[in-house]
Amino acid sequence: MPLSETPHPDGPAVIRSRRVVLPDGERPADVLIQGGRIEQIAAHGSLLAGDRHLTDLGDTVLLPGLVDTHVHVNEPGRTEWEGFATATRAAAAGGVTTVIDMPLNSVPPTTTVDGLDAKRKTAEGQAWVDLGFWGGAIPGNTGDLEPLHTAGVFGFKSFLAPSGVDEFPHVEQADLESALAEQARIGALAIIHAEDPAVLEAAPQQPGVHYRDFLASRPDDAETAAVARLLDTARRTGARVHILHVSSAAVLPLLRRARADGVRVTAETCPHYLTLAAEEVPDGDTAFKCCPPIRDESNRDALWAALAAGEFIAVVSDHSPSTPDLKLLKEYGGSGDFAAAWGGIASLQLGLPAIWTEARRRGHSLSDVVRWMSAGPASLVGLTGTKGAIAVGNDADLVAFDPDGEFAVQAAALHHRNPVTPYAGRTLTGAVRTTWLRGRVVDVEGEPFGRQITRS
Ligand SMILES: [Zn+2]
């Protein structure tokens, strides 16, 4: 249940906490909300009521809402995998107040303005949180990029290896050159799934239930070869590029060198790469399958070191669910074959507690988590000044978070459409108590009222 309803959602309201996570650190404060925005941040206890509705959180922490720039909603076209209502409901329950939807797995994909319009029309009235869209750059649609950008997409996703769905083909080198040259010209952000198809083809392909065989089929080299080729192309075209879901720590030295060389490159990683490890994946448990794959514990430690050093701009979910039968899950009568199962992790509602559980163990603060999961992704998509921080003038997207609240994950109790997640059965620390979107409580009650946002 929410800690408090806000009875006059657009009237003045104060949220008070002894632990407010602000851009310059955590301190006691009163946050005044008016018209859906943060109007004032004042000393704890100083903004007394009058006609203002007061929510006093006590020691419960107040965080800015998370910004998740990597979510596959899959609607329209594969709505049985996921949809706007269920995905954004899960987001709200997990403290995520802004979702940017990926351009593929929906049919049509977001590779034309018509595709974008289909998405927007379908999403209308279904979103619990604010929602934006990525476009896609595929072979042959270079001419669609500028109109899509003008229509407000946040940038363009391309795959360097097969994406898993036929209607979103990967780019060969010549397609990549033309897509990046065009994106440099129009000032768009290119976001890239970086695995190299030649390395994947050369790797041993051993189907079956053993996770180590699946891992061997998608080696570190597939990521490093793809990233090296991408960085070279970015350098020559001048495009701004972002590496999606870095799984292998072996790519980090390449990114460092390219940055030192003036290439405009950022990178993200995901909760599953930071909190799960190959050693603990049970045979046949395809809920853990994603591409690139979850690697070993020493790699996970190296990703944490890079995160601590500021080498990742964002930690985002890559929520990419499908139906249990396509996951080939054994409890649904499937084979548990990692090679044949759909690759994608469902975790939108769990990113914050999963990361906090591991971050705390490693000595990090909630300010660090906010930098990785809220301010960082907001800056990636140009939303700093609207989203990603408790700051005057920003949208009042807020989360009441109990950093000591423990819970056991039950897949069927999560709000995303299909009851599958690799976190099932785990005990996580950190519970979202209430989520506010533009000053209104959204995580449990009320009607959807997220709005569609565009790149400005
Ligand atoms: Zn993805």
Which of 10-14, 205-209, 237-241 has the least mean pLDDT?
10-14
Note the pLDDT of residue 52: 80
- Cα of 26 vs centre of ligand 1, distance in Å, is 32
- Mean local confidence (pLDDT), 311-322: 96
Percent helix, percent strand, percent coil in the chain, to nearest 5: 30, 25, 45
- Closest by alpha carbon to 179, among 165, 159, 163? 159
pLDDT digits (tens, 9 = 90+) for 379-392: 999 999 999 999 99
- Cα of 274 vs centre of ligand 1, distance in Å, is 16
Please spell the DSSP secondary structure of 171-221, one letter per residue.
PPHHHHHHHHHHHHHHTPEEEEE---HHHHHHS----SS-HHHHHHHS-HH
pLDDT digits (tens, 9 = 90+) for 153-207: 999 999 999 999 999 999 999 999 999 999 999 999 999 999 999 999 999 999 9
Residue 266 has pLDDT above 80, yes or no: yes
Q: Output the pTM of the full model.
A: 0.96
- Cα of 72 vs centre of ligand 1, distance in Å, is 6
pLDDT band per the 50, 70, 90 thresholds, residue 48: confident
User: Of all helices (H) and strands (E), which one includes residue 25?
Assistant: strand 25-34
CA distance 355 to 275: 7
- Cα of 343 vs centre of ligand 1, distance in Å, is 10
- Cα of 102 vs centre of ligand 1, distance in Å, is 7
Please spell the DSSP secondary structure of 281-349, one letter per residue.
PPTT-GGG--SSPP--HHHHHHHHHHHHTT--SEE---B----TTTTT-GGGT----TTTS---B--TT
- Cα of 319 vs centre of ligand 1, distance in Å, is 7
- Mean local confidence (pLDDT), 365-376: 98
- Cα of 317 vs centre of ligand 1, distance in Å, is 8
Mean pLDDT of the chain: 95
- Cα of 37 vs centre of ligand 1, distance in Å, is 31
Please, are residues 88 and 131 in contact by the beta-carbon 8 Å criterion? yes
- Cα of 320 vs centre of ligand 1, distance in Å, is 6
- Cα of 29 vs centre of ligand 1, distance in Å, is 37
- Cα of 71 vs centre of ligand 1, distance in Å, is 7
CA distance 401 to 435: 9
Residue 443 has pLDDT above 80, yes or no: no
Angle at 70 between CA 69 and CA 73, to 5 degrees: 115
Residue 1 has pLDDT above 50, yes or no: no
Please spell the DSSP secondary structure of 71-107, one letter per residue.
E---TTT-TTT--HHHHHHHHHHTTEEEEEE-SSSSS
